[in-house]
Amino acid sequence: MDKSKKIRIFVSFLVIIVGFYYVFTGVAFSDVFQVIKGLNPLMLLGFFSVQLFITLLMSYRWKCVIGEKGVDLGLWDSFRYYNISFFVNFFLPARAGDLYRGYLSSKKDFIDSSLIVLKERLFDLIVLMFFFSVLVITIFESFTGYLAILFMVLLAGIFTYFFIEKKEELPVLNNWYVLFRSSFIEAVKTKRKTFYLLFTAGIWLVEVLKTYIVFYGLGIESDLFLIAFFTFSWSLVAAIPISPSGLGSSEALTLFILVSYGILRTEAVSLVLMYRGLLVTITLIVGGSFYVRDVLKNTDMKRPMDHS
């Protein structure tokens, strides 16, 4: 294992440890358990149903994006590959699952499939940053809002240093900067960019509904602005490929936001842990099932994982 990979692994574990240390500091586990214990069981069904619907919407978008490259991908196959990517992202940093999905769908080489994936993910990033910026201005009128933004900038800086400047596995494009730039040009040039942006905005509004279900299920009263801000903050941090699926960093930032907004720390900790737990559960059940069926039994589908 080369030095850069060791550094990435070290940073990933460090973020997870520090993040969860912050989460668990100052709360009693018994109190957190009591809040989680009061979860309405029907909310679990609602959460899982909405999550599967969101994945279906993302799968349709992915089908359309990759179809522009001449790949005839069915909706069911797109749905399977998307769930597999969620499963892989949970175990590997650097969004390896997204890149793997690109290969599974197109069977193109690593660079070509990565360009397609980044083009799709750029629509998510643009919409998320727009929603996030509007909510920061709307919710936080004090120094707290600037601290939240500063925290995200610092995380982005860490990502840039360790995952862009140190990347050497792309001899043709030289580094991730060129890869992102190429995918951005592809996204701007596409004739359906308005459709993709509006469709993506719809997906993220459904994500807010999913988060609302957890708030409501735990009996935590809050306004829609905070629920939306929680959703977008969690996802933006998770998009930075430092730890798998933003493990540790998403929990720490959203907990900070909830407490700053006036949510009791015990309730806030219960919320972020339950949110993560539900995401992990559906990922392991659905994504894990597809991974075992479609990947472990097919050696040709494992090869691109070496690029992660």
The SS3 call for residue 298 is coil
Across the chain, mean pLDDT equals 80
Q: Is pLDDT of 108 > 90?
A: no
Residue of 183, 177, 148, 182 lying closest to 163 (CA atoms): 177
126: Cβ contacts below 8 Å, ≥ 6 apart:
197, 200
State the residue for tokens 């609302």.
Answer: 212
Total structural domains in the chain?
A: 1
Element (H, E) at 77: helix 75-91
pLDDT for residue 130: 84
Describe the crossing of helices 75-91 and 96-106 by its angle, rounded to 10 degrees: 150
For residues 124-132, average pLDDT: 85
Strand (E) or helix (H) holding 60: helix 41-67
User: pTM of the prediction?
Assistant: 0.81
For 242, the token pair is 């430092």
Q: Tell me whether residue 304 is in a domain.
A: no
For 46, counting Cβ atoms within 10 Å of its Cβ (0-12 exposed, 13-18 middle, 19+ buried), the class is: middle
Answer yes or no: is 210 within a domain.
yes
Question: In terms of pLDDT, which residue wins out, 245 or 299?
Answer: 245
Flag whether 265 is in a domain: yes
Q: Does the pLDDT of residue 186 top 60, yes or no?
A: yes
Residue 307 is assigned to a structural domain of this protein = no
Residue 301 lies in a domain: no
Q: Which helix (H) or strand (E) holds 195?
A: helix 193-217
Beta strands in the chain (DSSP E): none
In this predicted structure, what is the pLDDT of residue 208? 96
Distances (CA, A) of 78 to 84, 106, 218: 10, 11, 33
pLDDT band at 129, cuts 50/70/90? confident
Q: What is the mean pLDDT of residues 123-144?
A: 75
Domain interval for residue 271: 3-296
Distances (CA, A) of 124 to 146, 148, 203, 243: 23, 20, 9, 19
| Spatial CA neighbour of 11 closest among 97, 96, 93, 112 | 93
308, part of any domain: no
190 domain-assigned = yes
Average pLDDT of the residues in 95-99: 79
Say how far apart CA 54 and CA 213 lie, in whole Å: 14
Has residue 85 been placed in a domain? yes
**Would you say residue 70 has pLDDT above 90?**
no
Q: How many CB atoms lie within 10 A of CB 31?
A: 15
